[in-house]
Amino acid sequence: MRFRFLLQPNWLLLTAVVFVFAAACYAILAPWQFSRNADQQAQNTALTSSFTSKPVPLDQLVPAGTEPSSKAVWRLVTMTGTYEPAGEAMARLRTVQGEPAFEIVTPFRLTDGRTVLVDRGYQPPEAGKSVPDYAAAPKGQVTITARAQADEPADKRPTFLDSGRRQIYSINSGTVAQAANMKIDPGYFQLDANQPGVVKGALPLPQLDDGPYFSYAIQWLIFGSMALFGWGYFTWREARPGGALDNSDKPKRKSVAEILAEDEAREREEAAAAKG
């Protein structure tokens, strides 16, 4: 049978590897990159919209007790209240424009009684200090403008104190609320530049670039197709007469014992011929 080689163990293993890889390209890797591209485009759309929209009072955009929706993210809101430094925390392991940094988040109690989490910007680390010094939040009532953000996923690593400063690994209102024993609304608000409470500097806005995700998705589709095409080509080649796995017309390979026996017989014939 021409296709009997398909049942050989090596060929079955090759087939399994090729089809698993192709399935991963089509069902996992390419959709993952398409999803990242869609998320990036949604962020760019929201950010572009925020450039042209005026700041609005917080309660008009984000009702009390709710997290900023996807349509509210990056929108500018205004809030009046007081900072609550007792609940302040430092987000570790951050980078700002390629440089390491801490982000300082502080609860902010509004005049209507609700409390939200405000990202006051970033502070670079200082040599010889595990925790850098940074400007304290202003005392008394202030009005601030900030960009609405959804909570980052909660990190399983626990909060801890370092040099008297609370340390966290993700900017998550629930994490800060639990550590500070406070009630804080979901989401947080990224302080705009030149606002009361900004530390070293306000966080820069993301670049309006779709990134390479769409190209990566197309590449994974191409890789999956190439794997299937290669398998099909080699299957067709082996199915033809004379394929590398076709042993029907090939002479049987001699064993070492048969080769030695033939050599001895040849030597005896040559010796007999020399005597005659």
pLDDT, tens digit, 9 for 90 and up, residues 137-180: 999 999 999 999 999 999 999 999 999 999 999 999 999 999 99
The partner residues of 166 in beta bridges, in order of sequence, read: 161
Span between the terminal Cα atoms of the chain, in Å: 53
pLDDT at 1: 54
pLDDT at 140: 95
Query: Is the Cβ–Cβ distance between 62 and 148 less than 8 Å?
Result: yes
Name every residue whose Cβ is closer than 8 Å to that of residue 185 and which is 6 or more positions away in sequence: 62, 64, 65, 66, 67, 114, 115, 116, 117, 173
181 C-beta neighbours (distance < 10 Å), count? 8
The partner residues of 78 in beta bridges, in order of sequence, read: 57, 145
Q: How many Cα atoms within 13 Å fall on the side-chain side of residue 183?
A: 6
pLDDT at 79: 96
Helix, strand or coil, per DSSP, at residue 174: helix
Query: Is the Cβ–Cβ distance between 199 and 134 less than 8 Å?
Result: yes
Among residues 131, 143, 139, the alpha carbon closest in space to that of 89 is found at 131
Regions in the chain scoring below 70 on pLDDT = 1-3, 5, 207-208, 241-256, 276
94 C-beta neighbours (distance < 10 Å), count? 16
pLDDT at 128: 84
Query: What does the alpha-carbon distance between residue 131 and residue 180 come to, in Å, rounded to a whole number?
Result: 19
**H or E segment at 1?**
none
Tell me the backbone φ, ψ of residue 121, rounded to 5 degrees: 115, -160
pLDDT at 241: 66
pLDDT at 71: 83
**H or E segment at 38?**
helix 30-52
Query: Is the Cβ–Cβ distance between 154 and 175 less than 8 Å?
Result: yes
pLDDT at 189: 97
